């Protein structure tokens, strides 16, 4: 059985987002199903698990401003992000590859992003909201995002209002919520307008609400009821930025070296014409210095142990004659006692001899009553036992027969 992996390419698709405005592109599974063979059972082709891989042409990943999310293999993928003015006029080609996890086939097409400039960029007043009851893919849906912008417009009353960026709470250091009570991870939504912030949005900056936020209590916002029906907003995390009053602080850091890439720079590897470095001298120095130190220490230690010894003769010369004679006599006496202990023969103690014979008669003691037994050892060798104790076995056996 052989599985043939096929790959089909589509024509390039061009999109024209504006700088400073949220860009959303949905990768629909239905668009790629026609490129894969039908499912054996009719009506089940929609259940094919399809995943997408997106990358900048010629690179393994996407541009820094572009994000991608697909929750499961049975849901659509979404490309989203906010291009900046630096990308205006530069065509960005994104390679999109769809993988069918059932047939192992792929379908591919290119998405050409042509970033356009806009006179409204950047909008001077920007507000970032944190919505607790939605995930990022739910917020990216056109109808949900439209409802949120409509609620903000009713509160803010601007002439121009745009969604600038959307970020998942997980990208801001948030944690994955527990799978209970249908909890969501949360999403940050930044919007921009051309008029000053409304009094409702400024209410969060009041001392009373700031105190409630420090105590982890919900602040009192008069316009919260206009969002509460669909969006649960954490007003303590709202961020209001006036771009016209933001002062750019120039850092005093030194200029980066040649190994640090500037923003949107390209990596230039070193030339192949560089000369190779010879590490043989470094290798010799690394080994020679420790070995030389070790040899010096070994020489000093050997001289101290072998050439500086006093010896027995020098020790005897410094010892008084009386002490030498005393030690010599002790040594001679010890050797003499040891030689005498090897030649002595002592009979077995009475406690180790049998008291009754086989005939029932009492065997007389082998030693007289006045025999000294205090110096007799408890154990003797087998040779001493044979020399001292010789019981006539045949005679004893004959007497036992007569008695019977």
What span, in angstroms and rounded, lies between the C-alpha atoms of 194 and 316?
110
The token duo for 133 is 């009851």
Cα 71 to Cα 85, 111, 179, 350: the distances in Å are: 30, 21, 15, 101
Structure-token pair, residue 290: 């420790």
Mean pLDDT of the chain: 78
Residue-wise pLDDT tens digits, 318-348? 788 888 888 889 988 998 888 888 776 555 5
Specify burial of residue 20 (Cβ count, 10 A radius: 0-12, 13-18, 19+): buried
Give whole-number Cα distances, 290 to 154, 280, 296, 303, 394, in Å: 79, 16, 10, 20, 86
Distance of alpha carbon 400 from alpha carbon 358, whole angstroms: 7
Over residues 123-152, mean pLDDT: 90
Q: Find out whether the peptide bond into 338 is cis, omega within 30 degrees of 0.
A: no
The single-letter DSSP state of residue 65 is: T
Where do the DSSP E strands lie in 72-223? Answer: 77-81, 91-100, 106-114, 125-131, 161-168, 187-193
pLDDT at 40: 61
Domains and CATH numbers, the chain: 7-114 (2.60.40.10), 125-245 (no CATH)
Q: What is the pTM of this model?
A: 0.57
DSSP H or E stretch at residue 52: strand 50-56
Contact 185/174 with Cβ under 8 angstroms? Answer: yes
Task: Give one DSSP letter per residue of 341-386, joined into a string.
Answer: HHH---PPPGGGS-SB-TTSPBPPPSS-TT---TT--S---HHHHH
* pLDDT tens for each residue of 248-302: 545 455 665 665 655 656 667 777 777 788 888 888 899 999 999 999 999 999 8
Whole-number pLDDT of residue 53: 92
């Amino acid at each position: 059985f052989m599985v043939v992996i096929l790959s089909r390419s589509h024509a390039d698709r061009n999109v024209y987002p504006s700088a400073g405005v949220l860009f959303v592109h949905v990768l629909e599974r239905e668009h790629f199903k026609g490129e894969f063979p039908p499912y054996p059972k009719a009506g089940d082709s929609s259940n094919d698990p399809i995943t997408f891989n997106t990358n900048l042409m010629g690179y393994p990943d996407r541009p820094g401003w572009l994000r991608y999310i697909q929750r499961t293999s049975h849901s659509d993928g979404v490309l989203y992000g906010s291009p900046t003015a630096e990308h205006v006029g530069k065509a960005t080609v994104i390679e999109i590859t769809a993988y069918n996890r059932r047939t192992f086939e792929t379908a591919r097409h290119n998405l050409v992003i042509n970033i356009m400039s806009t006179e409204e960029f950047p909008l001077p007043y920007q507000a970032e909201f944190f919505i607790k009851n939605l995930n990022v893919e739910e917020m990216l849906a056109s109808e949900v995002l439209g409802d949120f912008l409509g609620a903000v417009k009713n509160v803010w009353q601007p002439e121009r209002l745009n969604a600038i960026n959307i970020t998942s709470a997980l990208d801001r250091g948030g944690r994955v919520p527990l799978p209970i009570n249908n909890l969501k991870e949360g999403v940050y939504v930044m919007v921009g307008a051309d008029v000053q912030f409304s009094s409702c949005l400024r209410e969060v900056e009041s001392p009373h609400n700031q105190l409630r936020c420090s105590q982890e209590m919900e602040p009192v916002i008069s316009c919260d009821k206009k969002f509460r029906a669909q969006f649960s907003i954490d007003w303590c995390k709202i961020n209001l930025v006036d771009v016209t009053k933001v002062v750019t602080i120039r850092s005093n850091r030194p200029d980066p070296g040649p190994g640090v890439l500037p923003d949107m720079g390209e990596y230039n590897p070193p030339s192949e014409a560089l000369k190779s470095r010879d590490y043989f001298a470094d290798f010799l120095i690394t080994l020679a210095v420790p070995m030389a130190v070790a040899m010096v220490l070994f020489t000093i230690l050997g001289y101290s142990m072998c050439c500086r010894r006093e010896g027995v003769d020098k020790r005897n010369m410094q010892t008084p004659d009386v002490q030498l004679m005393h030690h010599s006599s002790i040594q001679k006496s010890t050797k003499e006692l040891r030689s005498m202990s090897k030649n002595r023969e002592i009979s077995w103690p009475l406690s180790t001899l049998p008291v009754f014979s086989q005939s029932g008669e009492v065997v007389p003691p082998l030693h007289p009553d006045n025999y000294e037994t205090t110096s007799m050892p408890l154990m003797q060798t087998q040779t001493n036992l044979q020399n001292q104790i010789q019981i006539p076995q045949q005679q004893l056996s004959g007497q036992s027969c007569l008695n019977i």
